[in-house]
């Protein structure tokens, strides 16, 4: 039985997405076209048509997006009249690719040498191991920069390249030979620490599915209906992952938009949408072209920008929304004036009744944030900087390192981080000697014994306490609480952050004991930038254009629109790079619902030198009739007082 409410409020294209049941489906979803609504209603329709919830898999790219999709899907499923009682506790598996990889490796990873209690290394921890590998191999870190080595290794893992294959394919060349040595030593460290890096979570799962027929068949039979969101952002490993899972049923729905692929530098390949058409020649294709988000003026500007790209699938985006305000364009004499203009305009919007959380300031490069933050502070503009992540704060990582070390005693990365936090008389030399198996003074050995006893207590508590209580236990027993309480005001703030972590941990209190802690640690490791966006009231958001993907705001400022900055000269001058920059600007434009402010600066300080700039070539692609030039008299504005 088809639940009528699942089709209410949907346009014809969205209904086609929802009602398509068996066989491959490609959904080309334009910006703001209601794709999440289409996906969640499709999942609910599948259940209402007799598909068991646990046979449905939906994958997206951030925990935030997965959480929203899960919440909206479960709300729909509760309304399905014919959903049997025994099925109401069963749900579709909705997650990110990386969370899915963790789940499968924990349950089935033995075939590829992965044991259940592995640790997940973040980018900083992974970089630390690569630095250790370079040092141990006596390789010059200036010639072989650790961050560059990390990036190349990551990209190759995303391409499903193993160190053995890499070494074989590039044998004889100096640079690849040295990189292979670093990579191999890095892999040895990962095995020794019983750890995986972020890329392993997908690549090792693909290797698992390819190598173990029983495991492959189990998951193919389990997930008979698969939905992949943001398909244009998949890299080779993610593409292979979804292809293998759907190989048996062919019931796969890929949702994507080539115009919004902005992660080529991470290995994303929008051509996977074309590959999808080749893999499933009998597919049904649906285009979602009605935009529900932006005004006509904003949508027209975005359309004029993206139509210049040659490699794309054209879409006729349209909206029934109002024409809306003209796009404001401001020419600043320097970055200070640009920031002053933005801060004063935000204050003006707030004074007119706009909620600060409905305002976003976007920029192409991270260095642009400093002057914008300074202007916000100077004029008391409430703001939040996306990128200063809650989970990246030292005290938060320290707490999680205690937990990770307690749950995985082979995790030397976490142990080294907190073995002397707070200070317990175990210096770096002692730690290095201990890990090297050298004999230590009796007093030092006693301190190590105390530390190990502490980890034992934390592990025991993890099996008995709810996550929120467990965090409080770790804070107290580790000595961090007492240490921070006796420190300076900055330490007091750090203590408040850890207490806030206990509040966040309460979200997991409903899970079975030990499972809640395990899930909390897993989510922490997989946290992305948007997931750390704190829900502060009355704060405008400052972020890069990349970080804004998937978000929307009523009022959007896009700053630094100068050739060399946006489009960014660091991306090179190839057609592919130029088109990627154009897609990024398109994404930035389509974050706005009501009003766009575009700014550029005639002069800008870059790397200590003041440079003259030309306006971004993208601005000339937008028809002049869509613009309104903004005036800004600093002498007048500086005497204005806002209450």
Longest dimension (CA), the chain: 80
On the 0-12 / 13-18 / 19+ scale of CB atoms within 10 A, 273 is buried
Distance CA 557, CA 572 (A): 25
Q: Read out DSSP for 484-550? A: HHTS-HHHHHHHHHHHHHHHHHGGGTTSPTTHHHHHHHHHHHT--TGGG----TT-EEEEETTTTTT
Contacts of 351 (CB under 8 A, 6+ apart): 642
At residue 15, what are phi and psi to the nearest 5 degrees? -60, -40
Dihedral (C-alpha) 551, 555, 558, 559: value to the nearest 10 degrees? -130
Distance CA 625, CA 107 (A): 59
Helical packing angle, 467-477 and 515-525, nearest 10°: 80
Q: How many CB atoms lie within 10 A of CB 210?
A: 14
Q: Read out DSSP for 578-617? A: HHHHHHHHHHHHTTEEEEEEEEEESEEEETTEEEE-PBPT
Q: Is 312 a catalytic residue?
A: no
Long-range contacts of 147-154 (CB under 8 A, 24+ apart): 149/179, 149/182, 149/183, 150/123, 150/126, 152/179, 153/179, 153/182, 153/183, 153/186, 153/199, 154/197, 154/198, 154/199, 154/267
Distance CA 80, CA 36 (A): 19
Token pair recorded at residue 291:
């935009």
Distance CA 254, CA 59 (A): 10
Distance CA 251, CA 42 (A): 13
Distance CA 158, CA 155 (A): 5
Shortest CA distance to 596 belongs to which of 565, 546, 552, 633? 552
Distance CA 467, CA 511 (A): 9
Distance CA 581, CA 574 (A): 11
Q: Is 368 a catalytic residue?
A: no
Catalytic residue among 35, 42, 64, 594: 35
Q: Is 417 a catalytic residue?
A: no
* Ramachandran region, residue 198 (left: φ > 0; alpha: ψ -120 to 50; beta: rest): alpha
Q: Is 229 a catalytic residue?
A: yes
Catalytic residue among 229, 257, 338, 579: 229
Contact, 508 vs 349, CB < 8 A?
no
Q: Is 507 a catalytic residue?
A: no
Catalytic residue among 260, 559, 590, 599: 260
Catalytic residue among 36, 150, 368, 559: 36
Query: Length of the chain in residues, anyone?
Result: 643
Q: Is 617 a catalytic residue?
A: no
Catalytic residue among 199, 230, 233, 395: 230
- Stretch (H or E) spanning 321: none
Contact, 93 vs 56, CB < 8 A?
yes
Catalytic residue among 236, 591, 593, 604: 591
Enumerate the active-site residues.
35-36, 229-230, 260, 591
């Amino acid at each position: 039985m088809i639940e009528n409410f699942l089709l209410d409020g949907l346009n014809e294209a969205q209904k086609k997405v929802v009602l398509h049941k068996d066989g491959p489906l490609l959904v080309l979803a334009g910006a703001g076209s209601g794709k999440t609504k289409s996906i969640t209603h499709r999942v609910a329709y599948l259940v209402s048509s007799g598909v068991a919830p646990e046979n449905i898999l939906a994958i997206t790219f951030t925990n935030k997006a997965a959480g929203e999709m899960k919440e909206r899907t479960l709300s729909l499923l509760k309304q399905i009249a014919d959903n049997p009682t025994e099925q109401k506790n069963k749900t579709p598996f909705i997650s990110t690719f990386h969370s899915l990889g963790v789940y499968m490796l924990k349950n089935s990873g033995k075939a590829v040498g992965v044991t259940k209690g592995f640790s997940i290394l973040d980018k900083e921890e992974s970089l630390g191991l690569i630095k250790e590998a370079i040092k141990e191999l006596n390789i010059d870190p200036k010639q072989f920069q650790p961050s560059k080595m990390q990036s190349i290794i990551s990209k190759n893992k995303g391409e499903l390249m193993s160190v053995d294959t890499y070494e074989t394919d590039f044998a004889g060349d100096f640079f690849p030979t040295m990189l292979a040595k670093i990579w191999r030593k890095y892999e040895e460290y990962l095995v020794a620490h019983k750890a995986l890096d972020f890329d392993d979570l997908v690549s090792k799962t693909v290797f698992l599915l390819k190598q173990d027929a029983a495991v492959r068949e189990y998951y193919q039979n389990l997930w008979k209906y698969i939905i992949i969101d943001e398909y244009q952002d998949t890299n080779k490993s993610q593409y292979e992952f979804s292809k293998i899972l759907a190989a048996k049923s062919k019931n796969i729905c890929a949702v994507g938009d080539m115009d919004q692929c902005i992660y080529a530098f991470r290995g994303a390949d929008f051509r996977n949408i074309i590959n999808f058409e080749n893999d499933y020649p009998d597919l049904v294709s649906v285009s979602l072209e009605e935009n529900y988000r932006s005004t006509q003026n904003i949508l027209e500007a975005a359309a004029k920008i993206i139509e210049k790209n040659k490699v794309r699938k054209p879409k006729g985006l349209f909206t029934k929304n109002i024409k809306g305000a003209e796009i404001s364009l401001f020419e600043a004499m320097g970055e200070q004036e640009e920031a002053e203009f933005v801060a004063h305009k935000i204050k003006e919007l707030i004074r007119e009744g706009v909620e600060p959380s409905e305002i976003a300031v976007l920029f192409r490069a991270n260095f642009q944030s400093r002057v914008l933050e300074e202007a916000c502070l100077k004029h008391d503009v409430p703001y939040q900087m996306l990128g200063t992540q809650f989970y990246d704060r030292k005290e938060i990582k320290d707490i999680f390192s205690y937990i990770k070390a307690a749950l995985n005693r082979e995790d030397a990365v976490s142990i080294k981080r907190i073995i002397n936090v707070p200070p317990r008389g175990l210096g770096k030399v002692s730690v290095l000697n201990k890990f090297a198996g050298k004999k230590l003074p009796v007093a030092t050995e006693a301190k190590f014994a105390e530390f190990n006893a502490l980890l034992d207590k934390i592990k025991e508590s993890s099996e008995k306490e709810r996550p929120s209580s467990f965090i409080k236990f770790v804070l107290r027993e580790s000595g961090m609480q007492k240490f921070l309480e006796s420190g300076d005001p900055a330490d007091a703030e750090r203590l408040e952050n850890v207490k806030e972590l206990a509040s966040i941990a309460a979200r997991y209190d409903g899970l079975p004991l030990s499972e809640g802690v395990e899930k909390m640690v897993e989510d922490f490791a997989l946290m992305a930038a948007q997931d750390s966006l704190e829900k502060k009231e009355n704060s405008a958001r400052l972020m890069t254009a990349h970080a804004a993907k998937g978000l929307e705001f009523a009022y959007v400022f896009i700053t630094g629109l100068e050739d060399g900055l946006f489009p960014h000269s660091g991306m090179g001058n190839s057609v592919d790079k130029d088109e990627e920059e154009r897609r990024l600007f398109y994404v930035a434009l389509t974050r706005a619902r009501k009003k766009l402010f575009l700014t550029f600066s005639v002069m800008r300080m870059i790397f200590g030198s003041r440079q003259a700039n030309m306006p971004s070539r993208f601005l000339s692609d937008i028809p002049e009739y869509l613009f309104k030039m903004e005036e800004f008299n600093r002498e007048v504005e500086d005497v204005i007082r806002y209450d």
